[in-house]
Amino acid sequence: MKATVTAHSKYTISEIDPRLYGSFIEHLGRAVYTGIYEPGHATADENGMRRDVIELVRELNVPIVRYPGGNFVSAYNWEDGIGPKESRPTRLDLAWHTSESNQVGIHEFAAWCAAVDAEMMLAVNLGSRGLDEARNFLEYVNHPGGSEWSDKRRANGRAEPWNVKVWCLGNEMDGPWQIGHKTADEYGRLAHETAKAMRAFDNSLELVVCGSSNAHMPTYPEWEATVLEHTYNEVDYISLHMYFENRAKNTANYLARSIELDNYIRTVAGVIAYIKAKKRSSKDVFISFDEWNVWYHSKERDKATLAGAHGWPHAPALLEDDYNFEDVLQVGCILNTFINRADVVKIACLAQLVNVIAPIMTVPGGQAWRQTIFYPYFFASVYGRGTALKLHVESPSYPVDGIGEVSYLDISAVHDAGKRTVTFFIVNRHGTETLDLNIRLEGFGALTLAEDQVLAHSDINVTNTAESPNKVVPREGEGVELSDGRLAAGIQPLSYRMIRLQG
């Protein structure tokens, strides 16, 4: 099976916003407690944060982390998480039916973000609360001092404001499950007024308004149109969320779902363009794909806890998907889609980062380890910075019901002109056949092979575990031929590959 690709230094999609490789920490399950925070742990720092987790997050070079939810934020009082830890209240978290001890709040999270070298992306509660809570939180976080909330921050030990730029106006407000769920008009009005108030404080903030929770919501895509009608001139991004599952155990169909993702992005980009034209606006709104991942392996296991059958446990194991090798390919295809849509998708957050549908897992009191999906995320985040290239791709394809023809070759490429690198991220969706890949390279000058990494396994169901964390790890690829502006490589069936060339 043969595929040919042409890459030209001048055929570009867009500069990639580094925040395309963001992630997400929610007060959910063990993401925070025994995830990033475990004061008694052997590696805990002075703030009780696990250094072993910090190291793994730093390895991923995560540029931005969304916090504190998710569904959690829609009934969250941010004030519960400030002040002396011993006087912070325990609250019932209605989103996940658990108890929240509030031992981690904005100060602890901000210190952790500094330790992992990531920007904060904060969400305000527009479910059970509203504009007033949002403006107070903003004042607490970003105002230097001399006002009630900023002086409280100073009294709580942080003199400098954190100057957080990116703020989410609520979470999944179209979802009937959301505490304080609203219609598109109700939410659009509230989001507009909240954005206006936040901009009155600082016009340079980057504000994210909620789009649909997924492309199968009955109100999609009318929700986007209505919400943007209300908010277009006050916001910078609209959020999209999508989770992937393969309950049917059909690999070919599962790996085709990134085409649905692509259609979802195109549709919302179309709605944005429509509202922009309707408003005669010269300003652009982009997409913040601030929740995406595979999520289904843990759903049966979690049912009883989420139904409240176990009472109100503190930090129970929830949404702890055990990712298999097949998910490596899916995550590779998803990241390729974001790179190929880097002109409209500026922020994206892998949901989530630690323990909860996460690339990083921890054992309480024990080690931290990498799930299978850690690796495609690692390669894209570390090597996928620069300019996304518009590739010409010719590949055999297969038909999928409801989607159409799906290319066996899934590919994206990033050119870093400063470092003189060209990096290809490649997935072969074919179950049995090697893809003889031929890439014509034009306009890059002479290139040599800098790195070739492969993720492949004979068993698509294999998982890494705490006991055997290295069943799926990258290995060096072989057989790349590079001559006369052509690259040739055999991409083995159901494999992920990163090939990086150096000028």
Task: Report, as residue numbers or ranges, the catalytic residues.
Answer: 172, 291
Tokens in use for 378?
Answer: 């690692």
E-strand ranges in 270-408 read 286-294, 345-351, 360-362, 368-370, 387-389, 392-394, 397-400, 404-407
Q: Near ligand AHR by CB under 6 A, which window of 66-74, 75-83, 179-187, 189-197?
A: 66-74
Cβ burial of 420 (10 Å; 0-12, 13-18, 19+) is: middle
Are 472 and 328 spatial neighbours (Cβ–Cβ below 8 Å)? yes
For residues 48 and 170, which CB has a smaller minimum distance to ligand AHR in the complex?
A: 170
Binders of ligand AHR among residues 207 to 246 (CB under 6 A) are 213
Mask: binding to ligand AHR, 103-142, rule CB under 6 A, as x and -?
A: ----------------------------------------
Work out whether 305 is an interface residue with ligand AHR (CB under 6 A).
Answer: no
Q: Exactly one of 18, 35, 68, 69 binds ligand AHR (CB under 6 A); which one?
A: 69
CA-to-CA dists, residue 339 to 233, 396, 430, angstroms:
26, 22, 22
For residues 254 and 292, which CB has a smaller minimum distance to ligand AHR in the complex?
A: 292
- Give me the least distance between CB of 289 and ligand AHR, in Å please: 13
- Give me the least distance between CB of 371 and ligand AHR, in Å please: 15
Q: Which residue is nearest to ligand AHR (CB)?
A: 70
How many other β-carbons are positioned within 10 Å of the β-carbon of residue 394? 12
Work out whether 71 is an interface residue with ligand AHR (CB under 6 A).
Answer: yes
Cα three-residue angle 295-326-318, rounded to 5 degrees: 25
Work out whether 386 is an interface residue with ligand AHR (CB under 6 A).
Answer: no
For residues 95 and 255, which CB has a smaller minimum distance to ligand AHR in the complex?
A: 95
Q: Say whether 107 sits in a helix, a strand or coil.
A: helix
For residues 29 and 386, which CB has a smaller minimum distance to ligand AHR in the complex?
A: 29
What span, in angstroms and rounded, lies between the C-alpha atoms of 435 and 457? 16
Mask: binding to ligand AHR, 150-189, rule CB under 6 A, as x and -?
A: ---------------------xx-----------------
For residues 168 and 455, which CB has a smaller minimum distance to ligand AHR in the complex?
A: 168
- Give me the least distance between CB of 125 and ligand AHR, in Å please: 13
Q: Exactly one of 291, 320, 326, 410 binds ligand AHR (CB under 6 A); which one?
A: 291
Q: In b/e form, how buried is each residue of 144-162, taking b as 16+ CB within 10 angstroms?
A: eeeeebbebbbeeebeebb
Work out whether 351 is an interface residue with ligand AHR (CB under 6 A).
Answer: yes
Q: How many residues bind ligand AHR (CB under 6 A)?
A: 10
Q: Near ligand AHR by CB under 6 A, which window of 67-75, 156-164, 413-421, 464-472?
A: 67-75
CA-to-CA dists, residue 9 to 14, 281, 397, 420, 421, angstroms:
12, 32, 26, 11, 11
CA atoms within 13 A on the CB side of 376: 33
Work out whether 376 is an interface residue with ligand AHR (CB under 6 A).
Answer: no
How many other β-carbons are positioned within 10 Å of the β-carbon of residue 249? 10
Q: Which residues bind ligand AHR (CB under 6 A)?
A: 26, 69-71, 171-172, 213, 291, 351-352
